[in-house]
Amino acid sequence: MIEREIFEGLDKKVLSVFANNTFENFSIKKVYGILGIKNHRVKDTIKAVIKNMHAENILIKEGSQYRLHPQYITKDTSANHYITGVVDTTRSGRYFVIPKDGGEDIHISSGNISNALNGDTVKVYVFPKRKDRKREGQIVGIIKRNRIQFAGILKKKKKNNFALIQCDESELPNQVMVLDYDESIEDGSKVIVKITDWKPASNQPIGEIVKVLGMPGDNDVEMQSILFENDLSCDFPDTVKKEAEKLSTVISKKEIKDRKDYRDMMTFTIDPADAKDFDDAVSFKLLDNDNYLIGVHIADVSHYVKKGSEIDKEAYKRATSIYLVDRTIPMLPEKLCNEVCSLRENEDKLTYSVVFEFTPKAEVVSYSIDKSIIRSDKRFTYEQAQAIIAASEYGTFYQPSPFSPQITLLWKIAKILREKRFKAGSIRFESPEFRFDLDEQKRPIAVHVEESNEAHWMIEEFMLLANRTIAEEIGKKSGKKNAKTFVYRVHDEPNPEKVETFKNFVRKLGYNVNNSSRDKLIRSYNSLFEQVKGKAAQTLINNIALRTMSKAYYSTDNIGHYGLVFDFYTHFTSPIRRYPDLMVHRLLDLYLKGGESVNKEEYEEYCKHSSEMERKAADAEHESVKYKQAEFLSDKIGETFEGEISGVSKWGIYVMIDDNKCEGLVRMASLRDDFYALDEDNYQIVGSQTGNIYQLGQKVTIKVVSVNMLKKQINFILLQ
């Protein structure tokens, strides 16, 4: 009885030792000393308590010492030492946590990540800052997993009656164990596994198979795996398909009468050559006073998709269309996005229009916002529109079109708007887009890097103007006192510490950034982007520059858009492919009719969901590009290419091929002439004996030696 009382009392005392020193390791003897215990019998009891706590996973054992398991660190003895943030892993192998509330990123050593993966929302204990060192910390709890589904190859272990899933995701430290599965699944199949249990102190995730995709290497299987990994929907439910099929394409006379009729204005769409969902059109008319009437017409999806309908519920769930290399996963059923709502040539369509009167100097005299009906006279591709613009800009030859004068004048106005925007401080963020030529089996036979041109810029300027005008109409005119809940696209100011880090980074590459004022910082950024355009370092510099900025997102709290230097901005122009635009159409219609403000908390949740789904779609699109790049080089083993070093890491150097922009890794182990060490501060690796240096932006010749399609990894060797 006495032993029992001693045991129970010591249990709490021992726990308090570790709880009050959450990140320190203690030997059993050290615990004796802290508690002032000298009695051998009590020491034995303490030893039993500690071992029991270890067995119950309350304590972690490292060598002969113990410390409190992160999942039990709940007592914030110093609240300022704990933050919530999102894990960000770099390809150089470093881990950071980006604080939710801003501030300097926190570096996490590999021993302190506690099974967290890229994108996870975590709780971090921030260590006391050391002089001249970046903030460091330890992940003490995982609040929300970014992903719980992973694609991988099934490997059966018949003797032990379980299976292991070798996942595509290289971040996972081990294979996922599946204890109960359908034994009829063919060994070697590609499956989607959902992690159901993963103890913080264990490297072994436990999961269950949620879908069998097929055999690896098949294009459809690989694209589906990318979608399922990111928890993105593929097929529409039957209820949604049936509801879509019932929609009428006939526009009633009453509907036409209730709308502004712009069918007599010259109207056309400009989109990519392979586009089918035309959700925006522009129109042009020369007025008697020599001003221009320019209309921005957006598909009126809200007329067909009513809030609370099955189509609406599915559209909200998806929140965005997804554009993989070989396919589009639409937000809306095909009948809506490609037929009913699409602003197709020579068809009457219902739209929401913002029509501006411009002077020849691109000054807006007036504008109107109307529910409308239009009829597109011509469908242009960007290439066709660019040929017309290039003829006026550069005197190149083109096949004349009846629309050439209108497109030329539209570009004239857009060009002035663009120049004004950049003069006001808008940032010139540009990222090259990859486009693949695919054969009948969807295998890539060529890779192109597409950069925007005047035709893209023209449409962009009018869409930006429409989005800005709609946001000002609701947000600015209602004022702060009577502000109505609205969906804004916002972009916060950059983090000063991140900007300073970026400034030091580009200085080592021979570029300058002046951050003494906002104006000088933006000018420096725009000058830098122009200097690196077309170079291998462009992608890296753009990505790091973007990291200095807060990511744009949807919110009911308007803080303006820093990158565009707009006080009010929203997304109004793409309701076929973005759910926030559909919400904006509905709110605009409600408020223009004098309706009361909607519930702010409800719409803020809608905004958060839309932002999250946007990020997932971007991840999936990036993964599909990586897969197709690997597939493109898979039959080019042994071939040599010229390229530039585009990144450095502890594993080696990344090289981007000049011609096709495919990127691969030259592993440290393959550099046989010396032992190389990573000089991360100067973005280079240095030979310990020769002093030989390989640094970012350096021209090199490489040979393709292997391609791992499962991991989407390409391996090169340098040719000296």
Domain boundary, last residue among 507, 530, 548: 548
Q: Give the ranges where 398-517 is alpha helix by DSSP (H).
A: 404-424, 454-471, 477-478, 496-507
Contact present, 313 and 579 (Cβ < 8 Å) = no
Give the C-alpha distances (Å, rounded to integers) separating 564 from 362, 425, 608: 18, 7, 21
> For tokens 């501006």, what's the residue?
356
Q: Please report which helix (H) or strand (E) contains residue 8, including its range.
A: helix 2-19
Domain boundary, last residue among 183, 216, 249: 216
> For tokens 């109004």, what's the residue?
572
3-class SS shares of the chain: helix, strand, coil, % to 5? 35, 30, 35
Contact present, 122 and 142 (Cβ < 8 Å) = yes
Q: Quick one: pLDDT at residue 585?
A: 98
Here the CATH number for the domain that contains residue 131 is: 2.40.50.140
Q: Give the ranges where 129-233 is alpha helix by DSSP (H).
A: 219-229
Spatial distance between the Cα atoms of 161 and 268, rounded to a whole number of angstroms: 63
Q: Quick one: pLDDT at residue 367?
A: 98
Spatial distance between the Cα atoms of 589 and 72, rounded to a whole number of angstroms: 51
pLDDT of 93 higher than 60: yes
Tokens describing residue 25 = 């390791």
400 CB neighbour count, 10 Å cutoff: 9
Together in a domain, 428 and 540: no
Spatial distance between the Cα atoms of 272 and 410, rounded to a whole number of angstroms: 18
Together in a domain, 133 and 155: no
| Residue 521 falls inside a structural domain | yes
Find the helix packing angle between 454-471 and 382-394, rounded to 10°: 110
Of 2-6, 398-402, 668-672, the range with the highest mean pLDDT is 668-672
> For tokens 């712009």, what's the residue?
262
Together in a domain, 659 and 699: yes
Spatial distance between the Cα atoms of 16 and 526, rounded to a whole number of angstroms: 55
Of 498, 460, 432, 495, the C-alpha closest to 646 is 432
Spatial distance between the Cα atoms of 277 and 340, rounded to a whole number of angstroms: 10
Of 4-18, 147-161, 327-341, 389-403, the range with the highest mean pLDDT is 327-341
Contact present, 292 and 357 (Cβ < 8 Å) = yes
> For tokens 């021979």, what's the residue?
510
Residues 6+ apart with CB under 8 A from 373: 251, 255, 256, 259, 260, 261, 262, 263, 348, 349, 350, 351
| Residue 221 falls inside a structural domain | no
Q: Quick one: pLDDT at residue 418?
A: 96
Contact present, 572 and 298 (Cβ < 8 Å) = yes
Together in a domain, 575 and 684: no
Together in a domain, 211 and 297: no
pLDDT of 36 higher than 60: yes
pLDDT of 76 higher than 50: no
369 CB neighbour count, 10 Å cutoff: 18
Q: What is the domain range of residue 532?
A: 496-548
Spatial distance between the Cα atoms of 353 and 562, rounded to a whole number of angstroms: 26
> For tokens 């040599």, what's the residue?
640
pLDDT-derived band at 137, boundaries 50, 70, 90: confident
Of 675, 463, 458, 670, the C-alpha closest to 571 is 463
pLDDT of 3 higher than 50: no
Provide long-range contacts, Cβ within 8 A and 24+ apart, for 475-484.
475/558, 475/568, 476/567, 476/568, 478/591, 483/597, 484/587, 484/591, 484/597, 484/598
Give the C-alpha distances (Å, rounded to integers) separating 378 from 220, 406, 461: 35, 12, 20
Phi/psi for 433 (5° steps) reads -105, 140
Of 135, 98, 144, the C-alpha closest to 549 is 98
pLDDT-derived band at 159, boundaries 50, 70, 90: low
Tokens describing residue 42 = 């009590």
Alpha-carbon dihedral 668, 674, 678, 681, rounded to 10 degrees: -140
Q: Quick one: pLDDT at residue 493?
A: 85
Tokens describing residue 418 = 């663009």
On average, the pLDDT of the chain sits at 89
pLDDT-derived band at 347, boundaries 50, 70, 90: very high
Looking at the structure of the chain, the number of domains it has is: 6
Contact present, 176 and 150 (Cβ < 8 Å) = yes
451 CB neighbour count, 10 Å cutoff: 11
Phi/psi for 628 (5° steps) reads -70, -30
Give the C-alpha distances (Å, rounded to integers) separating 539 from 198, 236, 533, 574, 682: 35, 35, 9, 27, 18
Together in a domain, 133 and 262: no
Tokens describing residue 297 = 């017409």
Tokens describing residue 355 = 């029509």
Contact present, 587 and 287 (Cβ < 8 Å) = no
Together in a domain, 99 and 185: no
Together in a domain, 376 and 305: yes
Contact present, 159 and 185 (Cβ < 8 Å) = no
pLDDT tens track for 303-321: 999 999 999 999 999 999 9
Give the C-alpha distances (Å, rounded to integers) separating 51 from 18, 379, 396: 14, 74, 81
Spatial distance between the Cα atoms of 81 and 524, rounded to a whole number of angstroms: 35
| Residue 580 falls inside a structural domain | yes
Domain boundary, last residue among 68, 87, 113: 68
| Residue 369 falls inside a structural domain | yes
Work out the average pLDDT over 409-421: 97
pLDDT-derived band at 75, boundaries 50, 70, 90: very low
Here the CATH number for the domain that contains residue 194 is: 2.40.50.700
Identify how many contiguous H helices and E strands the chain contains and give both numbers. 18, 34
- Identify the residue with better confidence: 573 or 496: 573
Phi/psi for 548 (5° steps) reads -70, -25
Work out whether strand 162-167 and strand 136-144 pair parallel, antiparallel, or are unpaired. Answer: unpaired
**Residue 684, strand partner residues:** 679, 695
Tokens describing residue 601 = 């908390």
Of 332, 330, 331, the C-alpha closest to 340 is 332
| Residue 373 falls inside a structural domain | yes
pLDDT tens track for 202-219: 778 999 999 999 999 899
Together in a domain, 486 and 360: yes
Work out whether strand 699-708 and strand 713-718 pair parallel, antiparallel, or are unpaired. Answer: antiparallel
Together in a domain, 118 and 183: no
pLDDT tens track for 222-255: 999 999 888 898 899 999 999 999 999 899 999 9
Spatial distance between the Cα atoms of 267 and 591, rounded to a whole number of angstroms: 28
Together in a domain, 196 and 211: yes
Here the CATH number for the domain that contains residue 29 is: 1.10.10.10
Together in a domain, 412 and 462: yes
